[in-house]
Amino acid sequence: MRQADTTIFALSSGSVPAGVAVIRLSGSQSRFAIETFLKQAYPSPRQSTLCNLYHPVDKSLLDQVILLSFPAPASFTGEDVVEIHCHGSRAVVAILLDCLSQIPGVRAAEPGEFSRRAFENGKLDLTAVEGLGDLIHADTEVQRRQAVVQMAGGLEKIYSTWRADIVRMRALIEADLDFADEEDVPSDVTDGLFDEIRNLSAEINRHITQGEIGERIRDGVRIALVGAPNVGKSSLLNALAKRDVAIVTDQPGTTRDVIEVQLDLRGYPVSVFDTAGLRETTDLVEQEGIRRSTVEAVRADLVVALTDHKGTSVDDELARLQTDAEIIKAQNKTDLIESAQKQKSDGSLLFSARTGEGLGDLIDELSERVARLCGDGKSESAVWTRQRHKSLLLEVRDALDMALASTDLGVELVAEHLRQAGDSLGKLVGVIDVDDLLDVIFREFCIGK
């Protein structure tokens, strides 16, 4: 059976029990499937209607529900869609799902299958689908804001405009090719064109650089806690997790491995890595821990370089890491420092993970830096958010630059590079050649979406 002929259903709301649960159906059999439960007329489109649902075989009353129907094509998937708003008990949901699965041509949906149908029916472009996935998984306010812009077509608008520009440029070149023998189509058509290509390449380049922010917001700003063993890295991580910030997930490794905690730091998503203490060691397991710590620290956006009351310098370790990350220096265990000595600090933020003294200031500093790394969360225009976007954008820019570099080699070659640039933009929004990608993208979705 072709996919378009199967009707799918799933529990689209959260886990049961709950006050209300929403079961959604999509496909040409949706209406027929619902009518097997009804003794009354099928509800009018888009009007919430109170209905009794009866068992299709023994006709016993199953539940009293609200039905909402969205006939094709004016629905989320572009197909006939029905939502059953039933009571959210395990038993009600179980019997309804079971009865639905008995209906010929109707089956349980796979993860992301509703969104996939929406994409295949042209209701959403690929970047909007990705935005929708990110919105469902958004943990913090800044992530929500970014995802909702992308879901609403923020990226699609930009990429489609660029694609249309490129199509127009190609058309101009092809006209130039067709009329090449005629005196009256001068090549100043193409002269102006090269300026346009150059400007577009520069604009795409700016967009590529800006997007580091988008990826950071989507995946979280990476903060590595670095310092010698026992300066208090784990204690700081615990203190951060308990104060002002909410733990999202906690993925401990072995004691000598890297521990990552995802936190919501005043609306910004951060991943804090408590790295194994950096020091010379002959212990093989510890060496591996240090190697992993080094990798995390080098990949970090922000490094908190910690010392303790002894004030041993971390400068050598930082130099060895050769990281481009921003650095915040902090000195822990101030409760062990005489107050007269506290004044002598080298600009490090002083705090005590044990007493909490100075911790507020450290969190303020961290939050400010994180906000800055995320463009203060105020970016008006949509930014790319995934490596998939970045690599295709680089392809577009490179193809445009190749087009510019080919000017002396003939306009045919310029046209060919423009075609490649247009195709890469087509892959970004999903109108060209993305079949192999779809499984990966939709797998990230939950069932019912």
Residue 273's alpha-carbon distances to 237, 293, 301, in angstroms, are 8, 8, 11
Instruction: Tell me if residue 139 falls in helix, strand or coil.
Output: coil
Q: Of the two residues 91 and 336, which places its CB atom closer to ligand GDP in the complex?
A: 336
Near ligand GDP by CB under 6 A, which window of 112-120, 188-196, 349-357, 416-424? 349-357
Q: Is 315 or 376 the residue whose CB approaches ligand GDP more closely?
A: 315
Instruction: Confirm if 19 and 65 have CB atoms less than 8 A apart.
Output: no
In angstroms, rounded to a whole number, what is the distance separating the alpha carbons of residues 311 and 376? 33
Closest contact distance (angstroms) between CB of 371 and ligand GDP is: 26
Task: Decide if 292 contacts 321 (C-beta within 8 A).
Answer: no
221 binds ligand GDP (CB under 6 A): no
Nearer to ligand GDP among residue 69 and residue 352 (C-beta)? 352
- Among the listed ranges 166-174, 320-328, 329-337, 430-438, the one in contact with ligand GDP (CB under 6 A) is 329-337
The one segment of 111-119, 137-145, 333-341, 367-375 that binds ligand GDP by CB under 6 A: 333-341
Using CB under 6 A, which of the segments 242-250, 286-294, 347-355, 359-367 binds ligand GDP?
Answer: 347-355
Helices (H), 107-187: 113-120, 126-137, 141-151, 154-178
Binding part of the chain for ligand GDP, among 52-60, 76-84, 224-232, 378-386 by CB under 6 A, reads 224-232
Q: What contacts 8, CB < 8 A, 6 or more positions away?
A: 25, 26, 27, 106, 107, 108, 109, 110, 113, 114, 117
> How far is residue 128's CA from residue 159's CA, in Å, rounded to a whole number?
12
User: Is the CB of residue 272 less than 8 Å from the CB of residue 240?
Assistant: yes
How far apart are CB 231 and ligand GDP at their closest, in Å?
Answer: 5
CB of 311 to ligand GDP, least distance (A): 14
DSSP 345-397: -SSPEE--TTT-TTHHHHHHHHHHHHHHHTGGG---S----SHHHHHHHHHHH
> For ligand GDP, which residue of 142, 223, 231, 425 counts as binding (CB under 6 A)?
231
Least distance to ligand GDP, CB of residue 334, Å: 7
Query: Smallest gap, in angstroms, from Cβ of residue 227 to ligand GDP?
Result: 6
Among residue numbers 83 through 142, which ones bind ligand GDP (CB under 6 A)? none
Q: Is 229 in the site for ligand GDP (CB under 6 A)?
A: yes
For ligand GDP, the binding residue among 220, 232, 269, 375 (CB under 6 A) is 232
* Shortest Cβ 246–ligand GDP spacing (Å): 21
Q: Cα angle vertex 335, ends 334, 336, to 5°? A: 85
Annotate each residue in 269-308 with x if it binds ligand GDP (CB under 6 A) or - if it does not, as one string: --------x-------------------------------
**Beta-bridge partners for 20:** 87
Q: Pick the stretch among 16-24, 241-249, 332-340, 401-409 that binds ligand GDP (CB under 6 A).
A: 332-340
Return the residues of window 234-253 that contact ligand GDP according to CB under 6 A: 234-235
> Distance between terminal CA atoms of the chain?
22
Q: How far is CA 255 from CA 7, 278, 306, 422, in A?
A: 50, 14, 18, 50
Residue from 22, 25, 21 nearest 9 by CA: 25
For residue 245, the tally of other CB atoms under 10 A from its CB is 20
Nearest residue (CB) to ligand GDP, 77 versus 332: 332
Q: Which two tokens stand for residue 51?
A: 């209905």
Output the CA torsion 298→344→349→275 (10° steps): 40
Query: Contact between 335 and ligand GDP (CB under 6 A)?
Result: yes
Question: Which range, of 72-80, 202-210, 231-239, 296-304, touches ligand GDP by CB under 6 A?
Answer: 231-239
* The binder of ligand GDP chosen from 65, 353, 359, 362 (CB under 6 A): 353
- Identify which of residues 332 and 385 has a Cβ nearer to ligand GDP in the complex: 332
Site of interaction with ligand GDP (CB under 6 A): 227, 229-235, 277, 332-333, 335-336, 352-354
